[in-house]
Amino acid sequence: MLIFFLFIVSFIGILVMFLSIAYFFSFYRLLKGDAPFVPVPSSILPEITKALGISENSVVYDLGCGDGKVLMACASSQPKAKYVGYEISLAIFLLAWIRILKMKRSRSIKVFRKNFFGADFSKATHIFTYLMPKQMGKLEEIFERELTSGTRLVTCSFPLKIKKPSDVIDLERSEFLLVRKLYVYDF
């Protein structure tokens, strides 16, 4: 019994250490202008799903999907669509994978531990991003080249540099908060 207890305590300890180190490295990425793991507030998930306007045949990508919360919220609102997430951090990817498995949505939501730069966006009908301005700049060039006509992009807080949004959704949150607007683009 004591050995079992020690095993559980050590397992939880190692897991917490692993997640803390991964979280630290996620913030270290900020120095390069890449987004760390900061999930969108749960209160704005309905606005995100509404802005995306997903239908049964949609293929929705979350670039830098974090713990998968946006994909899971979208899958709850439209279970027949397909969902794809890319996440670069191993620990955060595992968190997303476990949450999706627990939610029993692993058929419709696929997450990949992969840098989204270099991914193929041609099948995407909808894309969500909550990233840093430098990454949005690089993605804008790729989107202009590779997205199929009609693809909708919803980006949280950081707009594209050149393309004008078809809609800007004011989330009516305090001016001291980072997440205050959603930008909608139709390619």
Ligand X SMILES: C[S@@+](CC[C@H](N)C(=O)[O-])C[C@H]1O[C@@H](n2cnc3c(N)ncnc32)[C@H](O)[C@@H]1O
* Closer of 62 and 108 to ligand X (Cβ): 62
Q: State the nearest-atom distance from the C-beta of 139 to ligand X, in Å.
A: 9
- Please report, for residues 37, 80, 119, 166, 182, the alpha-carbon distance to residue 44 in angstroms, rounded to integers and kept in the order given: 17, 22, 27, 19, 10
Q: State the nearest-atom distance from the C-beta of 152 to ligand X, in Å.
A: 16
* Closer of 10 and 134 to ligand X (Cβ): 134
Q: State the nearest-atom distance from the C-beta of 96 to ligand X, in Å.
A: 9
* Closer of 42 and 149 to ligand X (Cβ): 42
Binding site for ligand X (CB under 6 A): 26, 34-35, 37-40, 62, 64-66, 69-70, 86-89, 92, 115-117, 130-131
Q: State the nearest-atom distance from the C-beta of 69 to ligand X, in Å.
A: 5
Strand boundaries in 23-166, DSSP class E:
59-63, 82-87, 109-113, 126-129, 152-156
Query: Cα torsion for 99, 31, 181, 68, to the nearest 10°?
Result: -10
First CA to last CA across the chain, in angstroms? Answer: 61
